Amino acid sequence: MQPRILVGVPAYRGTPHIVETLRSIQEQEFAAFHVLLSVDNADHDTAQACAPFLADTRFRMVLHEKHLGWDRNINWLMAECGCEFFCYWQQDDLATKDYLGSLIRFADANPDFVCAFSDIQWFGGARTRMSCPTLTGFALTRALYFLETMNGVPFRGLIRKSAIDRAGPIRRTDFESAHEEFVWLAKLSREGPLGRVPGPLYYKRSHKDAVSAKWDGRGPEWWRPAWMEFGIGMLQAILPVVAPADCETALAAVLERLCCPKDGRKLSYDPGPECETFATEFLRAARARCGLAEGDDARIVRALIAQLRMDAQELDARLMPLMHELDRNGRLELGFEANGSGDGLLESGWSTPEDWGTWSDGRTSRLRLPLAGDGRRWRIEFQLAAYASPDHAQKVRVMIGDDEVARWTFESSAPCHKELLLSSKVKYPLMAFVLPDALSPRQRGDSNDPRALGLALLSATIGSA
């Protein structure tokens, strides 16, 4: 059978899980594929673990004596692809048996799409489900989506080799190619639409030894130039589909993305008090690296600073009265009913407040907290309800930034009490409720309500811990 897909598996220190991963690939219902195992840095233990699968003629392995790293390893695999499609499969991940078959059926039915992908379900240390919408429309719109969201779900999809050749390799940077998968996806998206295939799932294992997990512990002296490099890469990705007259607008848009943390942005870098210096240095480097003529950089920086001030003023107007009340009384009562005292704290992912409280709508709902960034310890007592029953448990992860502060499970819709202890070094921290089991009453057959319900906020009390 002529293989149509090359499944590329970059491997290094993979002995704990790679056998399970290769078995998951081997058991795919669609069988017209080859697997290329690229074992990095003379890792003979991993190679030995993979060796039994070489009895399957669809599997081949190459052991590299020198260290390639994640970026060059994937580039090598993509360059070796002689099939119609390429699929990157991480060494410790799994998928449903219909994964490859479902994706290739979509690709065959939509020949203008350059990528077909499924949702990603995390397992192990996390339970979040990640998705990406189908991306059609203008090439610039598709590329800007990856700048804004940094959504990497399609990176593990089924990608046409012809589009890979046009997009080129993943960039290698001095910062371990941090976030370069998003830059590459922006380049890929210039070549055609990307389609979400509902049904199959790719299961991504969460563990502390992941490459990206190690980046999280880096300090500002590393992240500052790393984010500048990411911004330059994104600018290089979108400029080919930007009209010459709009290059200055594109430059300003990338700078705004780097400097302005906002709701819905998966990752962000806040340069803080040195924002003006950061912005000036970025504009200078970006013009030089991207071949852009000199422009009015001072005007762009002024506009950025004005935007940041407006954002801060808007937050202050909403939250400072509550923060002052908390400071005066040491206690703050919040209600999340319509016109309640907590209305102004509801950010994205909520339904319209009702006379009793507010339902979440979607898989992530965000709540702004009226706390000063002074590290004081607070106790938050929530009165909640969940869209849950014994046969449909509702799991909730409570996040502040990248930190998980609680994990709850509800098996009943009865109102209940939950308590959190936390402190914040950031003014007005944003709390996210991640709701992988959110479901609409229409889906459950309870009513025609189409909202994806998970958690309902009734009230909250903030007090000193």
Do both 229 and 203 map to the same domain? Answer: no
Tell me whether residue 318 is in a domain.
no
Whether 432 and 380 have beta carbons less than 8 Å apart is answered as no
Shared domain check, 113 and 28: yes
**What distance in Å separates the CA atoms of residue 64 and residue 239, rounded to the nearest whole number?**
36
Is the per-residue pLDDT at 174 higher than 90?
Answer: yes
Query: 151, 181, 210 — which closes off a domain?
Result: 210
Look at residue 317 and tell me if it is in a domain: no
Say which CATH number the domain at 391 has.
Answer: 2.60.120.260
Question: Which tokens sit at 35?
Answer: 């697997």
Residue 232 host element (H or E) = helix 220-238
Q: How many CB atoms lie within 10 A of CB 133?
A: 12
Report the number of distinct structural domains present in the chain.
3
**Tell me, what's the pLDDT at 220?**
79
Tokens representing 138? 């203008």
Band of pLDDT at residue 270, cut at 50, 70 and 90: confident
Where does 242-296 have alpha helices with state H? 247-259, 275-290
* Residue 218 one-letter amino acid: R
Residue 322 lies in a domain: no
Given 210, 227, 262, the domain boundary residue is 210
Q: Looking at the structure, do residues 112 and 169 belong to the same domain, yes or no?
A: yes
Q: Are residues 306 and 374 in the same domain?
A: no
pLDDT, one tens digit per residue, over 88-118 is 999 999 999 999 999 999 999 999 999 999 9
Least confident among 8-12, 193-197, 322-326, 423-427? 423-427
| 323 assigned to some structural domain | no
Q: How far apart are CA 332 and CA 317, in angstroms?
A: 17
C-alpha to C-alpha distances, 7 to 26, 84, 195, nearest whole angstrom: 11, 11, 19
Indicate the pTM of the whole model: 0.77
Using the predicted structure, report yes or no on whether residue 210 has a pLDDT greater than 80. Answer: no
Inter-residue contact 130 to 153 (CB < 8 Å)? yes
From the CB of residue 126, how many other CB atoms can be counted at a distance below 10 Å? Answer: 17
Domain endpoint, select from 210, 235, 264: 210
Lowest mean per-residue pLDDT among 161-165, 195-199, 399-403: 399-403
| Residue at 321 is within a domain | no
Cα distances from 91 to residues 22, 37, 38, 50, 176, in angstroms, run 8, 9, 10, 11, 19
Under DSSP, the state recorded for 169 is P
- CA gyration radius, the chain: 24
Q: Are residues 156 and 251 in the same domain?
A: no
User: Are residues 304 and 349 both part of a single domain?
Assistant: no
Alpha carbons 432 and 402: distance in angstroms, whole number: 10
Q: Say what the pLDDT of residue 357 is.
A: 95
Any idea what DSSP says for residue 304? H
324 part of a folded domain: no
Report CA 231 to chain centroid distance, whole Å.
Answer: 17
For residue 227, what are the domain limits?
Answer: 218-311
